[in-house]
Amino acid sequence: STTTSTRSSGRDGADERGGGGGGGSAALGRTWWETASAAATRPALQQELMTLAKEPVYQVLEVNGRGDVWQREVSRRQLLKLSGLTQRDVRRIDPSLWVTNSMPAILVRDSAILLNLGSLRAISTAETVLIFDYNSVGAQSFVEVLLERLRLDADVSISGGPAVPFELEVVESALISRTQRLESALMDIEPRVLSLLEVLPIRLTADNLEELRLSKQALVELGSKAGALRQMLLELLEHTNELRRITAIDRQCRVNKDGAFECLTAADTLLAEEEEQEIEMVFEYYLQRCESCHGQSEKLLDSAKEMEDSIAVNLSSRRLEVGRLELLLQVGTFAAALGALIAGIFGMNLRNRLEESALAFWTATFGIVFGGVLLFLAMLAYLKHRRIL
């Protein structure tokens, strides 16, 4: 679980970064009550307060480059002011709109990076990252990975090593947490599917078939998630300008229309180009992991589908055998019914004196049995000739 340190100094620092309108809920409440009477005589302020009261307020978890973590409330207006985003950008990571923005995305803007990876919704700047719906599994996994990497970066910086830009740590931590969860899901499903593939040809039980159905459903979902993440990484690697814009956020550079860096010094330009190559290698690495996860899930899914086809053929063969047995029983029943008809005729009270003859009894008995068997064999030969049996 994520360890959250709520400190007054950290919260004050977060409020200062938010500007005059970036205070917590208590400050917002004081402003509301103190200006309530003045708002009655100032329509513009009254309208502004009504708008502020109606706009959504997000409960977010904020993490800075030092590894400090605290919770805060931020309205949509404050969020736009802090990150420099637009309303459309915020809707892409709004947790309340998860149905319409469920596809994974890493969106790069001039001063922020938007992360939408499963249940992880976050906005990263060069100094802090705001995490929405921080109690979700994806957000908790991301925070754990990010804090661990920030701690390692702090140790490297103390020893004199090069510092990794904060936004790059955020992006890589998000990719690490996402790929780890996909690989963990694959490791949970793979043994179950392999064991089912060994058992099902021998034991066709309802429990095994239901387990196969659930495993197949989980593989379809896993393959869809891994495929969507792979497609997103491919698109980022194809658009090199997006990689340059990630680098430009921390280096205080900008990317011109030709896709080249424009920095203050030549050294910054060289560092930005080296960092761009590093980001590209990071994305290629996680693309390979997604490819591996997606390929393995598709392979298991194909095996499960082949097993389903084999089971369907096996069941069809069994149904055919049952149908043949039913047809044989019906033929035998028909032959026996004819014998019963003859026995019924002899059992009627007719004045033919045959019921008193022992020879007639044994002749009728053997005739019925022989005729029934002969009729059964004749019908069986006919059915085989017509390839019904």
Distance between first and last Cα of the chain: 66
The domains found in the chain, sorted by start residue, are 1-163 (2.40.128.330), 323-385 (no CATH)
Q: Which of 362, 373, 307, 304 is nearest to 336 (CA)?
A: 373
| Tens-place pLDDT, residues 253-296 | 666 666 666 666 677 677 777 778 888 898 999 999 999 999 99
| Tens-place pLDDT, residues 336-378 | 887 777 777 766 655 666 666 777 778 877 888 888 888 888 8
d(CA 282, CA 273): 14
pLDDT at 35 over 60: no
d(CA 70, CA 14): 9
| Beta-carbon-side half-sphere exposure of residue 239 (alpha carbons within 13 Å) | 12
pLDDT given for residue 354 in this prediction? 66
d(CA 58, CA 18): 14
Confidence of residue 201 (pLDDT cuts 50, 70, 90): confident
User: In the structure encoding, which two tokens stand for residue 131, read together?
Assistant: 């995490």
User: In the structure encoding, which two tokens stand for residue 359, read together?
Assistant: 């020879």
Beta carbons of 177 and 120 less than 8 angstroms apart: yes
pLDDT at 20 over 50: no
- Indicate the residue type of 1: S
Average pLDDT, the chain: 77
pLDDT at 31 over 50: no
pLDDT given for residue 17 in this prediction? 39
pLDDT given for residue 261 in this prediction? 66
Crossing angle for the helix pair 266-347 and 358-385, to the nearest 10 degrees: 150
Region for residue 3 given its phi and psi (left: phi exceeds 0; alpha: psi -120 to 50; beta: otherwise): beta
By mean pLDDT, which of 37-46, 183-192, 199-208, 253-262 is the weakest? 37-46
Count H helices, E strands: the chain? Answer: 12, 8
